[in-house]
Structure 1
Amino acid sequence: MSNMVKVDSNYKTVPEFVLKDEDGNEFSSVNLLGKYTVVYFYPKADTPGCTMEGIDFTHLIDEFEGNVIGISPDSCNAISKFKSKRGLKVKLLSDPDKKVAEQFGVVKDGKLIRSTFIIDPWGRIRREWIKVSVQGHAKEVLEEYKKLVEEDKKISDNIKVRRAFRGIRPLPLSDEDLKKLVEAAHLAPSCMNKQPWRFVIVRTQEKLQQIHSALSEGNYWMKHAPALIVVYTKNDFGCQLSDGRNYALFDTGMAVGFLLAQATQMGLVAHPVAGYDPLKVKEILGIDGIVITIIAVGYWGNFEMLNEKHTQAEQSERNRQPLENILKII
Structure 2
Amino acid sequence: MTTTAHDITYRLEQKRRVQADFPGPKSVALTERRKAVVAAGVASSVPVFVADADGGIIHDVDGNSFIDLGSGIAVTSVGASDPAVVGAVKEAVEHFTHTCFMVTPYEGYVAVAEQLNRLTPGDHEKRTVLFNSGAEAVENAVKVARLATGRDAVVAFDHAYHGRTNLTMALTAKAMPYKTNFGPFAPEVYRMPMSYPFREENPEITGAEAAKRAITMIEKQIGGEQVAAIIIEPIQGEGGFIVPADGFLPALADWAKDKGIVFIADEVQSGFCRTGEWFAVNHEGVVPDIITMAKGIAGGMPLSAITGRADLLDAVHPGGLGGTYGGNPVACAAALAA
TM-score (norm 2): 0.19
Q: Which has the higher strand share?
A: 1
- The answer to which structure, 1 or 2, has the higher relative contact order (CA under 8 A, 6+ apart) is 2
Q: Which has the higher helix share?
A: 1
